[in-house]
Amino acid sequence: MKLIVGLGNPGPRHRRTRHNVGFRVLDALAARAGIALRERRFEGRFGAGPIAGAQVGLLAPETWMNRSGAAVEQALAKLPIPDPALDLLVVIDDADLPLGRLRLRARGSSGGHNGLADVLASLGREDVPRLRFGIGRPALPRDTVDWVLEPFTALEEERLAAALPRAAEAALCFVREGTEAAMNRFNGLWPEPTSGSEPAG
């Protein structure tokens, strides 16, 4: 079995914020695969079903972002996940990537993302595949915390309409072919940032 986890914050106030794009990628994948996230398990919304010939669990922790590790740890303890280094994918937002750009990595540090940091600390390892979804930075300097906790603008939502299906396809590629194949296919320069975002990193 494989497990794909999208990170975000619970509650309607946070639903459309930039920090919750991990949830939105997971929901796009669930819709494409016909998997309903209706079960209340592992302190979050959970569903499972076949994707590309493999049994896949989809988890959206409803702890706060910086406590995401507890939910992932519980899921790995209960589900038949052979090797988290190969069979677990964590989906997060990344303000250092232009809006809609994807970056998959097989291992590494949290890069300052509190949710991923908590997952890595809870599991006691850094060889956890992660899919970073770019949310960009504002055109003018401002506090990053305030930025990520604001909703996407209407212009950004237009870009998301194209970018979210592509992120779901990257997760499908991870399931079908593994991290390296997904990296080779989806890490790149597409799409260009919108006028409201500046590339960084």
The residues annotated with a catalytic role in the active site are: 19
Extract the tokens encoding 116.
Answer: 């991923």
Please say whether the beta carbons of 81 and 1 come within 8 A.
yes
Report the candidate in 148, 144, 90 with the shortest Cα–Cα distance to residue 117. 90
Q: From CA 92, how far away is CA 29, in angstroms rounded?
A: 14
Q: From CA 69, how far away is CA 123, in angstroms rounded?
A: 7
The region that residue 141 occupies, defined by phi over 0 for left and psi between -120 and 50 for alpha, beta otherwise, is beta
